[in-house]
Amino acid sequence: MKKVIIAAIVIIVVAIIVYFGLPTLLKTLGLHAPYRGQSFDLTGRKALIITTSKGILGETGKKTGVYASEMTVPYYELIDARMQVDIASIDGGEIPIEQISLKWPLLTPADERFLIDADFQQKVKNSMKIDDVNFTRYDLVYMAGGWGAAYDLGTSEVLGRKISEAYSSKIILGSVCHGALGFLRAKDEHGNPLVKNRKMTAVTDKQIKELGIEITPQHPERELRAAGARFESKTAFRDMFANHVVIDDTIITGQNQNAGAETAQKMMGLLNKRKTGPAIRE
């Protein structure tokens, strides 16, 4: 009986250590490692976050969507800078969220904040359709990733046109991970592909292979390189632990889910340096 009790205690202790220790270990390795940024006061400025509307992974029937932290982390960086933040998606309405990204041990503090934030949840449940949104009324436009984005961000003619208009209007643009696919159909002021000869980053082919999601129709590194982008990235023993952020003119791209805070911070940094420029436009 005594041995059974001791064994039970050992199991409980190990379970507690794993439960609390694994998230810390993952952060130490680089997954959602904390980013120490600046404190901005951008009162009166507006930001738009765009996500996928795709909730099913190909023909598998498995649920997918936006990777939570790629939406929540930038959102709260912007909100904490006192910006007005709106949420839009390709089709509008309720945004599908990759459920594993809201569970232990991948859950971030921003995700936890989202789960008790009724206002943010309403924005996600009733997202605006990009067709109905004037991107040029914003100071920052950011595109979140997640596997769902591989199905609709890079193929949306509407998104491509609106990103083109935003770029021409000097709006600061950003993305993380698969969100960079949203730049593929955009053009510069001369009608050339916006990504051509531009330094950019996104989720790597290596990470996609490591995660076993080759099933998705568009792979950001492959697509960006094919479109003429000067693709950059960093690597690790597993690329989900790597991180890289690239600034090229008014476009800031982050490699993967670890880059949300830094990408938002860099975007706000550019905005904060502007003496004049877009503010709230009704």
What is the residue range of 55's domain?
38-273
Tell me if 205 is assigned to some domain.
Answer: yes
For residues 55 and 12, membership in a common domain is answered with no
For residues 19 and 54, membership in a common domain is answered with no
Kindly report the CA angle at 259 between 172 and 103, in degrees rounded to 5?
A: 125
Over residues 122-149, the mean pLDDT reads 98
Tell me if 281 is assigned to some domain.
Answer: no
On whether the CB atoms of residues 14 and 106 are closer than 8 A, the answer is no
pLDDT at residue number 249: 95
Burial track 61-82 (b if 16+ CB lie within 10 A, e otherwise) = eeebbbbbbbbbbbbbbbbebe
On whether the CB atoms of residues 114 and 246 are closer than 8 A, the answer is no
For residues 22 and 55, membership in a common domain is answered with no
Name the token pair of 59. Answer: 């023909």
Tell me if 61 is assigned to some domain.
Answer: yes
Tell me if 167 is assigned to some domain.
Answer: yes
For residues 49 and 17, membership in a common domain is answered with no
Tell me if 282 is assigned to some domain.
Answer: no
| Domains held by the chain: number | 2
For residues 13 and 102, membership in a common domain is answered with no
pTM: predicted TM-score of the whole model, two decimal places: 0.93
On whether the CB atoms of residues 218 and 150 are closer than 8 A, the answer is yes
For residues 67 and 21, membership in a common domain is answered with no
Tell me phi and psi for residue 13, to 5 degrees.
Answer: -65, -45
CATH of the domain at 87: 3.40.50.880
What is the number of other CB atoms lying within 10 angstroms of the CB of residue 279?
12
Tell me if 264 is assigned to some domain.
Answer: yes
Give per-residue pLDDT as tens, 26-47.
888 889 999 989 999 999 999 9
Over residues 234-241, the mean pLDDT reads 96
For residues 184 and 160, membership in a common domain is answered with yes
Over residues 118-128, the mean pLDDT reads 98
Over residues 44-71, the mean pLDDT reads 96
